[in-house]
Amino acid sequence: MRSDRLGESLLPKRYALPIFASDPLSSVAYATQEILIVLTLAGTAYLYLAPWLAVGVVALLITVVLSYRQVVRAYPSGGGDYEVAMKNHGQFAGLVVASALLVDYVMTVAVSVSAGTDNIISAFPSLDEHRVLIAVSLVALLAAANLRGLRESGKTFAVPTYLFITGIGIMIVTGLVRWFVTDGGLVAETSQYTVTPEPEYTQLGGLALLFFALRAFASGCTALTGVEAIANGVPAFKPPKSRNAATTLALMGGIAASMFAGVTALALLADVKYVEHPCDLEGFANCDTEPQRTVIAQIAAAVFGGDGSAGFYYIQAATALVLILAANTAFNGFPLLGSVLAQDRYMPRQLHTRGDKLVFSNGILLLAGFAALLIIAFDADVTRLIQLYIIGVFTSFTIGQWGMVRHWKREMALTSDPAERGRMRRSQVINALGGTLTTVVLVIIVITKFTHGAWLVIVAMPILFGLMRAIHRHYDHVADQLVPDSDSRMLPSKVHAVVLVSKVHKPTLRALAFARATRPDALTALTVNVDDADTRQLQADWERFDIPVPLTVIESPYREITRPVVDFVKGIRRDSPRELVVVFVPQYVVGHWWENVLHNQSALRLRTRLQFQPGVMITTVPWQLESSIGLDGDGHGGGPAPGDLRRGLTDDATPYG
């Protein structure tokens, strides 16, 4: 796609919702499950806490969505929490947010794809032994789809997301109707099982019970992941960008909260049990060999009448698809954030470059690679990966919301309009409430999840922080070195051309001709004597062809070529520091990759060493071998090579075809 077609890849709300909101929407498939995993560590005694924890998660979700509506209106450029932190707290906070978000995006892909794989295995248990292969293959498929382009991936992912929303909505309504009409006739397959509590959780009271409940709440907060992606993706919306992004946020928040509340209610009404270790389910005979079904699978089977019903397979297919495609939130957010960081010189410049489909291809490939490594390292186990989750996103939530409080304070000082100040005050209150709640939740998450694997994320974030600081220092240092000074426009006192000679043949003669055409002040044809017989033959050929440039021979008793040439060039510079040395290096142009192994090795080593010498320029003089004739720069047939017509090498000798 041409660069001037960038506007055609912008998204209307109907595509932006499935692209940027698929992560929080799909999290209903495992958020309730994660609450139950923690609560069932103590058997079934504390499942009564689940509704209250769900209410807390929904209230937090609504608050965060309202807070981010203020962010997209105030900062529509796509930096999201990173931009808010950088402009209101400074570089340190901005890089903390950036490192947190980058880690969270990688975790989003790993967790979402692993959870989707879980739901595939719930429908087809025989695939359990191929769990990791399935998950890594899905990551590769997602990367390929996103490399096709943002608008194309939006169309690809819209249908499964809407099918999932519709399916979950029908399941919730049908389940509630069945419960009330049949007077409790909604029974999960695990309802008859009892749960063996972990010994350390059998007697909880006081602070221990509070800590236990907070840990379950922290696990349920996975329902909030991905909310920030819309704030980071505002530039991808069609105009008016801010208003469309805010509307999409509101739609996402309402749908996600409704689905999470409905799924949690059905799980409790159907008496679903889900444990960390399947053998803790007393009565689950095949716990060692058979994976336990996900909470969504158990609810679907209970609502639609068994695991062989059409409704069950519809829900499983839609859930697996949307969980896999939920990773698309990260595949859009990570490259966009990487591009912003690269523009600010905190990440390599390559992340700011769009590929041939107008997407940030390097960011997509980088994200896919790290996510695949995580999946392999943790065996695509959602329960293990989830412990590393949401620390990053709540770090960015917290810093971003307090940054917005500062933003509104600064803006209110710049206006005297009472109505405008009132609007800003309301926005500031919303962001202050969001910042307070997310700060509390972040502390809870760090405390309750640290020993369960979250320490890896807490270690990874400072490493990323340090890496971005180092990249920024490097770019600043390079920029300082490249600032023009008073000597930049001065011409060199003389130009000394050096043509490297190995033997008298066409490439050498062409290099000599080009060197003479540049009219240098001095011209040296240089060869290195590594074999006396070859050197004498070269001198004889030089005289026989009557070449009008003296041949200079330098000795190399240890048969080196590179060091004597470099020392010769250094000698010229030492004798005349203002003299410019131009080294002409003949080089073969070959048509096959394996031919490079057979040619040009000495030239490559020479160029590598000479490029570190100040005041030295290297000019490569190409000579096309027959294997390269008619090839373009990509190694494909591209018509006659320059000069073929003059040399009579084309089939058609008529000028201009």
Reported as a pLDDT band with limits 50, 70 and 90, residue 127 is confident
Fold for 3-475, please state it: Amino acid/polyamine transporter I (1.20.1740)
Q: pTM for the complete prediction?
A: 0.71
Residue 133 has pLDDT above 90, yes or no: yes
d(CA 361, CA 369): 12
Which residues have C-beta within 8 Å of that of residue 413, sequence separation ≥ 6?
A: none
- Residue whose pair of structure tokens reads 């981010």 in the numeric block: 68
Q: How do 194-195 and 281-282 pair as beta strands?
A: antiparallel
Residues facing residue 621 across a β-bridge: 586
Lowest mean pLDDT among 315-324, 356-365, 504-513, 568-577: 356-365
Which residues have C-beta within 8 Å of that of residue 383, sequence separation ≥ 6?
A: 37, 276
Residue 614: the pLDDT is 87
d(CA 32, CA 28): 7
Reported as a pLDDT band with limits 50, 70 and 90, residue 655 is very low
Q: Collapse the DSSP code of 627 into the 3-class scheme (helix H, G, I; strand E, B; otherwise coil) and give the result.
A: helix
Residue 75: the pLDDT is 84
φ, ψ at 627 (rounded to 5°): -65, -20
> Do 613 and 573 contact (CB within 8 A), yes or no?
yes
Model pLDDT for residues 62-106, shown as the tens digit of each residue: 998 998 888 888 888 776 788 889 889 988 998 998 898 888 888
Mean pLDDT of all residues in 432-446: 89
d(CA 101, CA 94): 11
Mean pLDDT of all residues in 562-572: 90
Which range in 15-24, 58-67, 77-86, 624-633 is most confidently predicted, on average pLDDT?
58-67
Residue 446: the pLDDT is 86
Handedness of CA 289, 294, 295, 297 (dihedral sign): negative
> Helices 207-220 and 50-74 sit at what angle, rounded to 10 degrees?
50
Residue 467: the pLDDT is 92
Residue 631: the pLDDT is 57
Cα–Cα distance list, 362 to 9, 197, 349, 368, 508 (Å): 18, 47, 10, 10, 40
d(CA 571, CA 470): 37
Burial environment of residue 321 by CB neighbours within 10 A (0 to 12, 13 to 18, 19 or more): buried
Residue 657 has pLDDT above 80, yes or no: no
Q: Collapse the DSSP code of 358 into the 3-class scheme (helix H, G, I; strand E, B; otherwise coil) and give the result.
A: coil
The domain segmentation of the chain, as residue ranges, is: 3-475, 494-624
More reliable by pLDDT, 55 or 592: 55
> Do 378 and 169 contact (CB within 8 A), yes or no?
no
Identify the H or E element spanning 529. Answer: strand 522-529
Reported as a pLDDT band with limits 50, 70 and 90, residue 258 is very high
d(CA 246, CA 233): 11
Q: Which amino acid is at 114?
A: S
Identify the H or E element spanning 409. Answer: helix 391-412
Helix/strand/coil (H/E/C) assignment for every residue in 534-575: HHHHHHHHHHHCCCCCCEEEEECCCCCCHHHHHHHHHHHHHH
Model pLDDT for residues 290-344, shown as the tens digit of each residue: 778 888 888 998 888 776 788 888 998 888 888 777 777 788 778 878 888 888 8
- DSSP 8-state code for residue 585: E
Q: Collapse the DSSP code of 234 into the 3-class scheme (helix H, G, I; strand E, B; otherwise coil) and give the result.
A: helix
Mean pLDDT of all residues in 193-200: 77
Residue 262: the pLDDT is 93
> Helices 131-147 and 91-123 sit at what angle, rounded to 10 degrees?
120
Identify the H or E element spanning 495. Answer: strand 494-500
Lowest mean pLDDT among 36-40, 201-205, 275-279, 633-637: 633-637
Residue 583 has pLDDT above 90, yes or no: yes
d(CA 203, CA 212): 11
Residue 652: the pLDDT is 42
- Residue whose pair of structure tokens reads 């382009």 in the numeric block: 149
Cα–Cα distance list, 359 to 33, 205, 228, 449, 549 (Å): 35, 54, 20, 36, 53
Residue 198 has pLDDT above 90, yes or no: no
- DSSP 8-state code for residue 206: T
Reported as a pLDDT band with limits 50, 70 and 90, residue 651 is very low
Q: What is the CA radius of gyration of the chain?
A: 33
> Do 216 and 39 contact (CB within 8 A), yes or no?
yes
Going edge to edge, which strands form the sheet with 616-624?
551-555, 522-529, 494-500, 579-589, 616-624
More reliable by pLDDT, 37 or 653: 37
Whole-number mean pLDDT of the chain? 82
**Second-level CATH architecture of 494-624:** 3-Layer(aba) Sandwich (3.40)
Residue 357 has pLDDT above 70, yes or no: no
More reliable by pLDDT, 448 or 474: 474
Mean pLDDT of all residues in 138-151: 79
Identify the H or E element spanning 143. Answer: helix 131-147
d(CA 316, CA 122): 8
Which range in 16-25, 342-351, 479-488 is most confidently predicted, on average pLDDT?
342-351
Query: Which percentage of the chain shows pLDDT scores above 70?
Result: 86
Which residues have C-beta within 8 Å of that of residue 295, sequence separation ≥ 6?
A: 29, 30, 32, 33, 36, 263, 267, 272, 274
Lowest mean pLDDT among 166-170, 236-240, 565-569, 644-648: 644-648
Cα–Cα distance list, 521 to 79, 155, 516, 524 (Å): 55, 64, 10, 10
Residue 146 has pLDDT above 50, yes or no: yes
Give which of 518, 513, 526, 512 is closest to 492, Cα–Cα: 518
Mean pLDDT of all residues in 478-504: 78
